[in-house]
C-alpha cells in the first residue's frame, strides 16, 4: 500500500503492571503478574472476585480534579498513556498539527459512566442524570480528548472491534500514513471495564476465571487447567510517523511498522472459527503486506486469552501459518489479564520492547501442558532471543482478527537510545 514507510517514535503505557512503560516492562520480563482481588467495587459475594486493575492511579493528580471528574476512567488512562508516548517521541505537535491525527480504540467505552447514569436515573429520576454522562460513556471520546489536549487537527476516528480494537486502531493509522493522509498518527487503545456490569456480564458468559483464592495463578494461557480469562484494564499509545518526516526532525525511532492484516471469521459472535481460518488469513495478510517470510518472524505475541477455545485454536492457526517452525510465542495476558480493547496496543508495545531488548517475555503460570497447546510458549521465564521481526495477534468477539508486524529499524540513524536496547538483561 504505497511506498511511504512508517516508524514508531514513542510509546506510553499505564497497566496493571506499572504506571509507565519502564515499570510495566520490568515487571513483564520478571514474570510478575498484576492480578489481585477487585478493589473498584465490593465483589466479596460475587462468583468472580479478581481482576487485573491499574493500581494507585490518582486521576485528580494526573489531570486536575475538575477535569478528571468529567472524564470516565477509560479516557483518564488514555490521556496518561498518550502523554508519555508524545513526550517520548519528542514531537512538536504545532509544527505538524494539520498532518497529525488520532485513531484510538476502546472495546466498551465509558462503562462506569453508563452504570452511574443508570443508577441515578433509576434511584433519583431523569432530572438528576449527569449532563456529562453521554460524552463520558461514548467510546470515541478518548480520540476526541487526545486531539483536543494536543491540538491534533488531522485524521481522527475510533475503532470499536472488541478485543482487536486497538490493533485495528494501529493498523488504520498505519494505512492513513501510507496513503498520504497524515504524516504523524497517535494510535492505541484504552479500557476500564472492571465495573459491576463488566465483571457480571463476562462472568455470566462463563468467560472469566473463578480462581478467586489464587489470583496470581488465575491467568494461565495454554495451560491444561485454565478456566477463563482475567478481566484487566490499561491504556497504551503509540506515536507513528512517516519515516522521512521522523528522521528529518531527529526523532527517536524505536521500530518500523511493516505489516498489517485484518479479517473476519464470519462464524460466531464469541467463538473463534474452529480451524482458526480468520486468524490464519490475518497473519498471512500481515506477512504479505510487509513482504516478510515466516522464517523471519522471531517472536509472536499471541492473543492467548486463557480460555479453552482461543488457546487451542490460536495454536492450530499458528501451525497452519508457520508449519513446523512456529517461533517462540507467549501470552503476556498471563500477567496483565485481558485488557479487551486496549490489548492490541498494549501487546504491540510489548512486541516493540521485545524487539529492542532481544528478550521474549514469558507466559507465566504454564505448569500443566495441554496436549492441544504444544508450541514453545516461553514458559514462566523470559528468554534472550535475537529478533528481526515480531508479530502480534488480536482476535475479538464478533470474529474480528488483526495481526501486526514490527521490525528493527533498517538504518543506523533510526536507532533510538531512550528504551531498552538489544542485549539488555531480561531481569
Per-residue pLDDT tens digits for 280-301: 999 999 999 999 999 999 999 9
The grid coordinates of residue 262 equal 485484518
Q: How much of the chain exceeds pLDDT 70, in percent? A: 95
Are 39 and 190 contacting, i.e. CB atoms less than 8 angstroms apart? no
pLDDT at 25: 98
Is the pLDDT at 21 greater than 70, yes or no?
Answer: yes
Q: Which CATH superfamily is domain 7-413 in?
A: Thiolase/Chalcone synthase (3.40.47.10)
What is the rounded average pLDDT of the residues 153-158?
97
Mean pLDDT of 121-132: 97
Domain ranges (residues) in the chain: 7-413
Calculate the average pLDDT of the chain. Answer: 95
Q: For residues 243 and 196, is the Cβ–Cβ distance under 8 A?
A: no
Q: What is the pLDDT of residues 37-54, one digit of tens each?
A: 999 999 999 999 999 999
Over residues 216-238, mean pLDDT: 98
**Do 198 and 231 contact (CB within 8 A), yes or no?**
yes
Q: Could you tell me which residues are beta bridge partners of residue 299?
A: 390
pLDDT at 424: 40
Q: Which residues 6+ apart lie within 8 Å of 238 measured at CB?
A: 8, 10, 11, 85, 170, 186, 187, 188, 345, 348, 349, 352
pLDDT of residue 184: 98
- Residue 425 predicted with pLDDT over 50: no
> Tens digits of per-residue pLDDT, 244-273?
999 999 999 999 999 999 999 999 999 999
**Cell match 492473543: residue?**
303
Q: How confident is the model at residue 3 (pLDDT cuts 50, 70, 90)?
A: confident
Q: What is the pLDDT of residue 422?
A: 36
Render pLDDT for 309-352 as a digit per residue (tens, 0 to 9): 999 999 999 999 999 999 999 999 999 999 999 999 999 999 99
Q: What is the pLDDT of residue 414?
A: 44
Please tell me the predicted confidence (pLDDT) of residue 361. Answer: 98
Residues 6+ apart with CB under 8 A from 413: 247
d(CA 208, CA 200): 10
Q: Does position 179 have pLDDT exceeding 60, yes or no?
A: yes
3-state secondary structure labels for all residues of 276-336: CHHHHHHHHHHHHHHCCCHHHEEEEECCCCCCHHHHHHHHHHHHHHHCCCCCCEECCHHHH
Which residue(s) pair with 351 in the sheet? Answer: none
Q: Which residue has the higher pLDDT, 416 or 388?
A: 388
Place of cell 528522521: 247
Dist CA 205 CA 351 (whole Å) = 30
Share of the chain above pLDDT 90, in %: 94
Q: What mean pLDDT is predicted for residues 99-115? A: 97
Cα distances from 55 to residues 17, 38, 113, 378, in angstroms, run 8, 11, 20, 27
What is the chain's percent helix, strand, coil content, to nearest 5?
A: 40, 20, 40
Q: Is residue 402 pLDDT above 60, yes or no?
A: yes
The tally of CA atoms less than 13 A away on the side-chain side of residue 106 is: 27
Q: Residues 12, 10, 159, 132: is their CA dihedral positive or negative?
A: positive
Q: Report the pLDDT value the prediction gives residue 419, as an integer from 0 to 100.
A: 46
DSSP H helices, 337-405, are 343-357
In this structure, the strands spanning 255-264 and 297-301 are: unpaired
Q: Is it the case that residue 410 has pLDDT exceeding 90?
A: no
Residue 411's pLDDT band (cuts 50, 70, 90): low
| pLDDT greater than 50 at residue 142 | yes
Q: Is the pLDDT of residue 421 over 70?
A: no
Residue 1 pLDDT grade (very low, low, confident, very high; cuts 50, 70, 90) = low
pLDDT value at position 189?
98
Q: Burial, 38: exposed, middle or buried (Cβ in 10 Å; 0-12, 13-18, 19+)?
A: buried
CA distance 171 to 405: 10
pLDDT bucket at 427, cuts 50 / 70 / 90: very low
List residues with catalytic annotation: 163, 303, 338
Distance CA 27, CA 16 (A): 10
Torsion 333-339-340-345 (CA) sign:
negative
Q: What tens digit of pLDDT does each residue of 42-94 get?
A: 999 999 999 999 999 999 999 999 999 999 999 999 999 999 999 999 999 98
Tell the residue number behind the cell numbers 498539527, with chain if given: 97
Residue 227 has pLDDT above 70, yes or no: yes
Is the model's pLDDT at 305 over the cut of 90? yes
Amino acid at each position: 500500500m504505497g511506498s511511504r514507510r512508517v516508524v514508531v517514535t514513542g510509546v506510553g503505557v499505564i497497566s496493571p503492571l506499572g504506571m509507565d512503560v519502564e515499570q510495566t516492562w520490568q515487571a513483564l520480563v520478571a514474570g510478575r503478574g498484576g492480578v489481585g482481588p477487585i478493589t473498584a467495587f465490593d465483589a466479596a459475594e460475587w462468583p468472580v472476585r479478581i481482576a487485573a486493575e491499574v493500581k494507585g492511579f490518582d486521576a485528580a493528580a494526573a489531570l486536575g480534579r475538575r477535569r478528571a471528574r468529567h472524564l470516565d476512567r477509560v479516557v483518564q488512562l488514555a490521556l496518561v498513556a498518550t502523554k508519555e508516548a508524545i513526550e517520548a517521541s519528542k514531537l512538536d505537535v504545532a509544527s505538524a498539527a494539520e498532518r497529525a491525527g488520532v485513531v484510538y480504540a476502546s472495546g466498551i467505552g465509558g462503562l462506569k459512566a453508563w452504570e452511574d447514569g443508570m443508577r441515578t436515573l433509576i434511584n433519583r429520576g431523569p432530572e438528576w442524570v449527569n449532563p456529562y454522562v453521554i460524552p463520558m460513556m461514548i467510546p470515541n471520546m478518548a480520540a476526541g480528548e487526545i486531539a483536543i489536549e494536543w491540538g491534533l487537527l488531522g485524521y481522527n476516528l475510533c475503532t470499536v472491534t472488541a478485543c482487536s480494537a486497538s490493533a485495528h486502531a494501529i493498523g488504520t493509522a498505519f494505512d492513513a500514513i501510507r496513503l498520504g493522509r497524515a504524516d504523524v498518527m497517535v494510535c492505541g487503545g484504552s479500557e476500564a471495564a472492571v465495573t459491576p456490569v463488566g465483571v457480571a456480564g463476562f462472568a455470566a458468559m462463563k468467560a472469566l476465571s473463578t480462581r478467586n483464592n489464587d489470583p496470581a495463578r488465575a491467568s494461565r494461557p495454554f495451560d491444561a487447567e485454565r478456566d477463563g480469562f482475567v478481566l484487566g484494564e490499561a491504556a497504551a499509545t503509540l506515536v507513528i510517523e512517516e519515516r522521512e518526516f521522523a528522521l528529518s526532525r531527529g526523532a527517536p525511532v524505536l521500530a518500523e511498522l511493516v505489516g498489517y492484516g485484518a479479517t473476519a471469521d464470519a462464524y460466531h459472535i464469541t467463538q473463534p472459527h474452529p480451524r482458526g481460518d480468520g486468524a490464519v488469513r490475518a497473519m498471512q495478510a500481515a506477512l504479505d503486506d510487509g513482504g516478510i517470510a515466516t522464517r523471519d518472524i522471531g517472536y509472536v505475541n499471541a492473543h492467548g486469552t486463557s480460555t479453552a477455545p482461543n488457546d487451542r485454536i490460536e495454536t492450530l492457526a499458528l501451525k497452519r501459518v508457520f508449519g513446523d517452525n512456529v517461533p517462540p510465542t507467549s501470552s503476556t495476558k498471563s500477567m496483565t489479564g485481558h485488557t479487551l480493547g486496549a490489548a492490541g496496543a498494549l501487546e504491540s508495545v510489548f512486541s516493540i520492547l521485545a524487539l529492542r531488548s532481544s528478550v521474549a517475555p514469558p507466559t507465566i503460570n504454564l505448569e500443566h501442558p495441554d496436549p492441544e497447546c504444544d508450541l514453545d510458549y516461553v514458559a514462566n521465564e523470559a528468554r534472550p532471543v535475537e529478533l528481526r521481526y515480531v508479530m502480534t495477534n488480536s482476535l475479538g468477539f464478533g470474529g474480528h482478527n488483526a495481526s501486526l508486524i514490527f521490525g528493527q529499524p533498517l538504518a543506523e540513524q533510526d536507532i533510538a537510545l531512550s528504551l531498552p536496547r538489544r542485549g539488555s538483561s531480561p531481569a
